[in-house]
Amino acid sequence: MRCSSLSLNLSLALLGKLLLAVMFYAVQPTETWAAEWSIVPSIGVKGVYNDNLLLTPLPHDETYGYWTSPAAEFAGKTERLEVSGKVAADFVSYFGGEETNFTNIFLPLSMRYKTEKDILGFTGGFTRDNTLMSELLTTGVVVRFTQRNQWNANPSWTRSLTEKLSLQSSFQFSDTTYESGLRLGLVDYRLLGGSGGLLYQVTEQDQVQLAGIYTSFNTTNAPFGFRATFPGAMMTVTHAFTESLIGTAFGGPRFISSTTQGPAGDLKAKETVWVYGASLTRQFESGSIQLNVARDIIPSGFGLLIQTDRVTLSGSYKVSETLTASMDANGYLVTGATQRSSGGSFPEQRYASLSPKLAWKFLEWWKLEASYTYGRRDVDGFAAPATSNAAMLMLTYYPPKLALSN
């Protein structure tokens, strides 16, 4: 708890330092505060179809739905300060096999303040989404519908020590709650952590980063509480093979110490897990392709830490000035890195998806998108794998950007 309180205090202190710097800069004479602001509004309407929305091997019906998604992105920039954010919502209705209505809200915020030697940053905000998509995209696990509310605050500080060497530090705070989550086996949780290290630019093509990491995770409403800390170290190497081909590799140990409360007393466990990964990105004149392979430890609403082994392959190709084709492929292997807070182990799960997509821009302010997604899910204990076929058609209107300057 002492480390958690210390990290929270440091996070708040760093955030306060950033806000004070912004306020100080804001009161400087007008000639040094030449700001450029822009707002980009949009509204989209989407129709969806899925023949097995919850990827269940049990009997099920087809599900249809529609989304209405208004949004507005904003950005501001001065000589030293950059601010960007978004206000967006999804009004969603499903009917057929799954009948439900919900509203997603997205309020991300990003700030960056530069001096001659320092960069103060902040990312965070509020997200209200649904567990079907949020857990699937994060962990590869399929969960029935309920709303998830999440607050995030991630301040950071980078200081240039020399032309090639920089000191980096960052802090993380996240608070997640679920509406009626306990009936689905989901518990609220809080995450607190930080990292610090050095970034060294070896050559124009090579970069090495060494960092120490500390993360604290605890449930906040579980019938039997669970808490874990997993400090560790990470080394990241980036190499530019050419201007259009960049590779990154990282790895390091995480030392997990967990405590699960129970009627018979606390159950304590310790384990060392190596996390690692690599990515390769290639840019072409008319497109790009990216491959990612990674193992990670992820806090989850299941009241435990999840280990994910993930492979993703994505690519896009600009067929013409108005037509773009893309493809995304994902594969997950998900296991429990710790015991459930409710007791028992987490079943091993495997998930794979393939999604081709077309996007067409027309009449200057309009975009039409169509996609198909094939999904497959296999869980230990299931009699057979579950598969799904999904289709999406979305029409989005982008009015002219609103720009202001002084």
User: Is pLDDT of 260 > 50?
Assistant: yes
Q: What sign does the CA torsion over 26, 32, 33, 38 have?
A: negative
Closest CA to 24 of 80, 83, 84, 85: 80
Tell me what the mean pLDDT of segment 200-206 comes to.
95
Please tell me whether residue 364 adopts helix, strand or coil conformation.
coil
User: Is pLDDT of 371 > 90?
Assistant: yes
Model confidence over 351-361: pLDDT tens digits?
999 999 999 99
List, in order, residues 6 or more apart from 311 with CB less than 8 Å away. 291, 292, 293, 330, 331
Model confidence over 160-193: pLDDT tens digits?
999 999 999 999 999 999 998 888 888 999 999 9
User: Is pLDDT of 3 > 80?
Assistant: no
In the DSSP assignment, the letter for residue 261 is: -
Measured CA to CA, the distance from residue 298 to residue 138 in angstroms comes to 8
User: Is pLDDT of 269 > 50?
Assistant: yes
Residues β-bridged to residue 248? 238, 279
User: Is pLDDT of 31 > 80?
Assistant: no
List, in order, residues 6 or more apart from 22 with CB less than 8 Å away. 81, 111, 113
State the architecture of 2-28+116-387 in CATH terms: Beta Barrel (2.40)
Q: Is 375 exposed, middle or buried (0-12, 13-18, 19+ CB in 10 A)?
A: buried
Structure tokens at 379: 């869980």
> 384 — phi, psi (to 5°)?
-155, 160
Q: What angle do CA 90, 93, 97 make, to 5 degrees?
A: 140
Q: In angstroms, what CA-CA distances link 201 with 105, 120, 159, 185, 236?
A: 39, 20, 14, 46, 12
Measured CA to CA, the distance from residue 48 to residue 61 in angstroms comes to 14
Where along the chain do its domains lie?
Answer: 2-28+116-387
Model confidence over 54-92: pLDDT tens digits?
888 888 899 999 999 999 999 999 989 999 999 999 999
Measured CA to CA, the distance from residue 59 to residue 55 in angstroms comes to 11
Question: How many Cβ atoms from other residues are within 10 Å of residue 7's Cβ?
Answer: 19
- Strands 100-114 and 305-318 turn out to be unpaired
Model confidence over 286-319: pLDDT tens digits?
999 999 999 999 888 888 888 999 999 999 999 9
Question: How many Cβ atoms from other residues are within 10 Å of residue 225's Cβ?
Answer: 17
Whether residue 119 contacts residue 113, with contact meaning beta carbons closer than 8 Å, is answered with yes
pTM here is 0.85
